[in-house]
Structures are given as C-alpha cells and as structure tokens.
C-alpha cells in the first residue's frame, strides 16, 4: 500500500520481556510489537486489511462493506482505513437488538470515522456466507456492489499479509504464539515461519471450530496445509469480550512489569495462556517463545 496515510512501519520491533515467571521454567519470552506497525491500524489488522484495500482500490471500488460484533476491532480498523483513504465504509453488525441502544465505545469510534452501521439479526448474521443471504444483507445495508471484506478480515488475500509476519520472525524463536478470532492471522503466520518453528494459536472464543477454518483458509490461499501450527483451547475466559477480574488484574500486572499496553480482548488472553502453559511445563527448558502483540487498547 503506497498511500501516505496508510504507509506501515514494518518490521515491527521484537523485544525481550525478562519475566521470572517464564525464566524459572527455562523459557525466554519475546514480544513482537505488532501494535506499533501503524498508529490506527495496529498489528494483524494492518496485515490483513492492506492486501484487501489494495485490491479494492485497484478494482475501482470506493466503498467497503464488512462484518463484526459490537466489540469488533476489525470494524474499528476498517472504519479508520476508510477515513484515511477516503472510502465509504459500511459495517454490518451482529445483533439487531443493538440498533435502539446507545453505541458502545467501539461502535462509537467506527461511527466517528464515518462508518455507516447496519444491525442485523443474529440468525441472519450466522448465514452471511451463503450467497443469497450475503446479497440480501448487502442490499438491506445499502452496500450492493461494495468491496466485501469478511468478518475479521480473514480471506486468502489477508493470509498473504500475515505470512509476512511469519517471515519477519524466521529463526527468532521455536514457538510463535498469537491470539485467534477468525484464525486468519495464525493461518498466514504459520505459512511464513521457517521449518522447525511452530505457530501456536490461542482462541478467544470457545467452540473448537477454528481448526477447520484455518485449514480451509490455507487451502484457499496456498493450495493446502502450510507450516506447523497448533491451537491451545480453553483460554477464552467465558467468551469473546469477556474480561473477568482475574484476567484484567493479570493484564494490569503485565503492563506494570513490562511497560507494554495490554489489549484485553485478545492480547491479555494470549499472555495469560502462555503463562499458564509455561507453568504446566508445556514448553521444554531452553525454549524461546514469541508472543505477537496484535493490537492496542
């Protein structure tokens, strides 16, 4: 992407986080500060959106339509990108019951950046991948003919952007861990890593559905499986956007120890999982572990 407002700053910094909770088990912790790659489109949002934005502009589209829940970081990033590029944006939001309520901080930020929000029923939203349902949703949102970016920004183009993240980390550690929503970042990251490195995904939603999604995305993007990846389930803390007091306290403590802002919905769950896995001896002594900081608070 050559537009001056969207010029990224990769590669993002890789810094060591000296932490006795990891060091006591012989594990070295590194932080890939992808939250610093762009001031308004941090981390995986930049990496997934940039190829799609390029494709939209090259095909003459002046309007983007995408999907997300009430706390979607992807919606926020798409709205910001639209403002910076002068593109109209439409956000199709899960939950028609939200239409008559005051906007939360996340959706208010989308609206302030010019995104037109269209609320739909949860049953319709679940069927958005069906061609007829998608066409109906776009029509009802006044977005027929828009360039469509899928929920979370995860598609074959997005994976090419996330593979670059993996290439930036080649040879830096044995395990590279990232929080997962739709699985696109992990799918691309794994493809970009070198042989002998493993990508570890920490799902922030329960359900056990991500494995199939990641395999499907890799087939679309690369023609088949790519790289070594695994999932660490059970660290969703009750579901997406659920931040129990213990998780919030853990994140605040990590911020105090390391001076790194910890986004609560994704990054806090990632770091909590890595701490718990390290304490349970999931990583052999001598392991260098990289946590990808995908977003800012």
H helix runs in the chain, sequence order: 20-23, 43-58, 73-85, 105-112, 122-126, 131-140, 156-168, 184-192, 210-222, 245-258, 267-279
pLDDT value, residue 9: 62
Catalytic residue among 12, 72, 154, 173: 72
Active site (annotated) includes residue 72: yes
Report d(CA 87, CA 75) in Å as an integer. 14
pLDDT value, residue 1: 43
Q: Which residue has the tokens 């609320």?
A: 119
Burial status of residue 296 (CB atoms within 10 A of its CB: 0-12, 13-18, 19 or more): middle
β-strand 28-32 against 14-16: which pairing, if any? antiparallel
The answer on pLDDT for 267 being more than 80 is yes
Question: Which residues are 64's β-sheet partners?
Answer: 89, 147
β-strand 116-120 against 88-94: which pairing, if any? parallel
Structure tokens at 261: 């802002």
Task: Answer for the pair 37, 164: CB distance below 8 angstroms, yes or no.
Answer: no
Of 28-32, 160-164, 255-259, give the lowest mean pLDDT range. 160-164
pTM as predicted: 0.89
The answer on pLDDT for 156 being more than 80 is yes
Burial status of residue 59 (CB atoms within 10 A of its CB: 0-12, 13-18, 19 or more): exposed
């Amino acid at each position: 992407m050559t537009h001056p407002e969207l010029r990224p700053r990769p590669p993002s910094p890789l810094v060591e986080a000296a932490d006795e909770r990891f060091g006591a088990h012989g594990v070295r912790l590194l932080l890939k500060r992808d939250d610093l790659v762009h001031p308004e489109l941090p981390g995986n949002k930049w990496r997934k959106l940039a190829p799609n934005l390029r494709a939209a502009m090259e095909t003459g589209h002046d309007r983007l339509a995408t999907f997300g829940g009430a706390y979607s970081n992807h919606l926020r990033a798409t709205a910001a990108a639209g403002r910076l590029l002068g593109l109209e944006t439409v956000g199709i939001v899960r939950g028609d019951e939200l239409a008559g309520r005051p906007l939360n901080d996340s959706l208010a930020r989308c609206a302030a950046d010019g995104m037109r929000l269209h609320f739909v029923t949860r049953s319709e939203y679940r069927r958005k991948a069906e061609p007829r349902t998608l066409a109906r949703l776009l029509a009802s949102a006044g977005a027929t003919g828009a360039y469509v970016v899928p929920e979370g920004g995860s598609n074959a183009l997005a994976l090419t952007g996330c593979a670059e993240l993996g290439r930036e980390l080649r040879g830096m550690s044995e395990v590279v861990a990232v929080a997962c929503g739709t699985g696109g970042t992990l799918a691309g990251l794994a493809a970009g890593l070198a042989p002998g490195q493993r990508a570890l995904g920490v799902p922030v939603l329960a359900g056990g559905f991500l494995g199939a999604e990641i395999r499907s995305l890799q087939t679309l993007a690369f023609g088949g499986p790519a790289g070594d990846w695994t999932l660490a389930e059970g660290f969703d803390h009750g579901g997406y956007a659920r931040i129990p007091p213990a998780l919030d306290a853990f994140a605040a403590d990590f911020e105090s120890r390391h001076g790194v802002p910890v986004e609560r919905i994704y990054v806090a769950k990632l770091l909590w999982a890595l701490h718990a896995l390290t304490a349970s001896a999931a990583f052999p002594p001598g392991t260098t572990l990289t946590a990808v900081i995908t977003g800012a608070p």
